[in-house]
């Protein structure tokens, strides 16, 4: 199935510019220009009117109006496919010119990527939000250009809390446990949604580590899975929440999507959530509130930050053309437009400041306020990809009856260190 159309500004380019959308692989092909760039990106919308391809089609049309000698061919893949697709292409010697993916460290370690200073103007590099751009840096060079970001905040169902006699969201672990107990007694099916299943266990895990004063790494970047604070967090979850029936059954088999869906159905009263949960909850008629994550003794001062990375491969030697395109991509208006369309956070200071000062974006201020102090995954480490796969498989066992958080986290620590040393 194919749809052919002229992009928003394509009519003014040349008779040779045609954009083709393919339902198979969501490919958008621009057939014009002296140099053709291949770009692979992640799908952030659905397969109907909100697909990311609409954003890229328009942006490419505008870019080619200014750069008729550069064509850009875009493929859009689902989140679960995109990294694997890029890896397969790189392995086959057919690397794209650019790819927007979740990790970059292994390609950087193999000297397959251009660095930011080879691509972006100095103002464009300086405009990245520091907390995010630092995570894109390996061996003191930035290879991962942040493209989108998100943080996690505490969501709660106002109606369910009110029915349980709760006036305000919990600020500490003890308050969370007390509120969950009151919600359970009032008949709420799942007082707190705890997704430690394989879909995205790393985000919920990091939230709890941070709320205990721990994290995945220390301030010099060494792994700290088995830190006492991290072990304490999962012992508390096991004993004070899961064992008392205050969470969903079998958290280790429950994915983020499962608890989001249950929150929208009014079955979950409290959970840690991503910006995209806002629109879904509104559409579901849920009257919800948002707050900082509860901490061990006070509200958590940090939350999980997640970013996707734009990478540029050296294989085809199109550095000059890639540079022109990426400097256009990171223009403030383009960064803002993408963030607005998909309820994500802008990765540049100029776009951040504009969104934070505009009351039209007040719904994401809670997330924005967390971004500059958010803790991102250690994606600069080649060892992170295999380590996070192990974590997704194992972390859910820590909160089961008889689970041993110390043993699981110590095993993850040993495996992470061994993989890191091997690299």
DSSP state string for 152-208: -EEEEEHHHHHHTT--S---BHHHHHHHHHHHHHTT-SEEE----STTTHHHHHHHH
Per-residue pLDDT at 47: 56
Q: Are residues 119 and 179 in the same domain?
A: no
Cα 218 vs. chain centroid, distance in angstroms? 21
Rounded to the nearest 10 degrees, the angle between the axes of helix 201-211 and helix 384-394 is: 90
Q: Are residues 275 and 407 in the same domain?
A: yes
The total of structural domains in the chain comes to 2
Would you state the structure tokens that stand for residue 380, as one six-digit string? 């600069």
Q: Are residues 119 and 164 in the same domain?
A: no
Q: Give ∠ CA 399-402-404 in degrees, rounded to 5.
A: 65
Rounded to the nearest 10 degrees, the angle between the axes of helix 228-236 and helix 405-422 is: 140
Q: Are residues 91 and 189 in the same domain?
A: no
pLDDT tens across 152-162, in order? 999 999 999 99
- C-alpha 340/C-alpha 363 separation (Å) is 11
Q: Are residues 404 and 284 in the same domain?
A: yes
Q: Are residues 260 and 298 in the same domain?
A: yes
pLDDT tens across 217-259, in order? 998 899 999 999 999 999 999 999 999 999 999 999 999 999 9
Contacts of 141 (CB under 8 A, 6+ apart): 108, 115, 116, 117
Per-residue pLDDT at 143: 97
Q: Under a CB-based contact definition with an 8 Å cutoff, are residues 339 and 148 in contact?
A: yes
- C-alpha 142/C-alpha 122 separation (Å) is 13
Cα maximum dimension of the chain: 69
Radius of gyration of the chain (CA): 22
pLDDT exceeds cutoff 90 at 317: yes
Per-residue pLDDT at 33: 52
- Residues 285-312: what's their mean pLDDT? 95
Q: Are residues 287 and 311 in the same domain?
A: no
Strands 70-77 and 35-42, by their bridges, are parallel
Domain that holds residue 25: 2-150+306-376
Instruction: Give, rounded to a whole angstrom, the gap between the first and last alpha carbons of the chain.
Output: 44
Would you state the structure tokens that stand for residue 20, as one six-digit string? 């083709």
Per-residue confidence at 7, pLDDT binned at 50, 70, 90?
very low
Specify the CATH number for the domain of residue 257.
3.40.190.10
Question: Helix or strand or coil: residue 22?
Answer: strand
Would you state the structure tokens that stand for residue 252, as one six-digit string? 């280790």
pLDDT exceeds cutoff 70 at 310: yes
Report which of 291, 269, 267, 305 is spatially closest to residue 366, judged by C-alpha positions. 291
The last residue of a domain, from among 344, 360, 376: 376
Q: Are residues 266 and 335 in the same domain?
A: no
pLDDT tens across 285-295, in order? 999 999 999 99
Would you state the structure tokens that stand for residue 124, as one six-digit string? 């464009």
Q: Are residues 131 and 171 in the same domain?
A: no
Q: Are residues 332 and 295 in the same domain?
A: no
pLDDT exceeds cutoff 50 at 24: no
- C-alpha 33/C-alpha 13 separation (Å) is 10
Q: Are residues 281 and 347 in the same domain?
A: no
The label of the residue with tokens 């010119």 reads 97
Helical segments of 212-287, H only: 228-236, 256-264, 276-283
Q: Are residues 61 and 143 in the same domain?
A: yes
- C-alpha 385/C-alpha 393 separation (Å) is 13
pLDDT exceeds cutoff 60 at 15: no
């Amino acid at each position: 199935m194919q749809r052919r159309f002229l992009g928003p500004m394509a009519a003014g380019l040349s008779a040779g510019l045609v954009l083709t959308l393919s339902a198979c692989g969501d490919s958008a092909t621009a057939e014009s220009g002296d140099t053709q760039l291949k770009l692979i990106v992640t799908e952030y919308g659905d397969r109907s009117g909100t697909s990311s391809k609409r954003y890229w089609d328009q942006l490419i049309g505008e870019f080619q109006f200014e750069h008729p000698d550069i064509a850009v061919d875009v493929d859009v893949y689902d989140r679960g496919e995109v990294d694997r697709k890029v890896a397969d292409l790189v392995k086959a010697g057919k690397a794209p010119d650019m790819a927007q993916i979740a990790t970059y460290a292994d390609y950087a370690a193999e000297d397959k990527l251009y660095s930011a200073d080879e691509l972006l103007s100095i103002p464009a590099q300086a405009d990245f939000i520091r907390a995010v751009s630092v995570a894109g840096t390996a061996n003191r060079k930035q290879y991962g250009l942040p493209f989108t970001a998100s943080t996690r905040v505490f969501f709660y169902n106002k109606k369910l809390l009110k029915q349980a006699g709760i006036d305000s969201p919990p600020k500490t672990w003890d308050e969370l446990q007390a509120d969950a107990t009151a919600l359970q007694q009032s008949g709420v099916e799942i007082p707190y949604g705890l997704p430690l299943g394989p879909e995205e266990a790393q985000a919920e895990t990091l939230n709890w580590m941070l709320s205990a004063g721990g994290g995945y790494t220390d301030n010099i970047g060494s792994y700290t899975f088995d830190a006492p604070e991290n072990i304490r967090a999962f012992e508390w979850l096991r004993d004070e929440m899961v064992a008392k029936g205050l969470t969903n059954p079998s958290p280790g088999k429950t994915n983020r999507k499962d608890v989001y869906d249950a929150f929208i159905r009014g079955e979950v009263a409290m959970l840690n959530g991503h910006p995209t949960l806002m629109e879904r909850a509104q559409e579901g008629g849920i009257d919800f509130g948002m707050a900082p994550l509860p901490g061990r003794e006070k509200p958590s001062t940090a939350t999980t930050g997640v970013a996707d990375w734009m990478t540029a491969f050296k294989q085809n030697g199109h550095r000059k053309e890639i540079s022109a395109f990426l400097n256009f991509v990171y223009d403030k208006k383009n960064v803002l437009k993408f963030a607005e369309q998909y309820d994500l956070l802008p990765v540049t200071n100029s776009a951040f400041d504009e969104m934070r000062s505009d009351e039209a974006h007040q719904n994401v201020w809670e997330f924005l306020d967390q971004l500059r102090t958010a803790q991102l995954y250690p994606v600069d480490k080649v060892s992170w990809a295999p380590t996070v796969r192990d974590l997704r498989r194992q972390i859910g066992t820590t909160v089961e009856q008889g689970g041993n958080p110390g043993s699981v986290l110590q095993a993850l620590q040993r495996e992470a260190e061994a993989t890191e040393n091997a690299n």
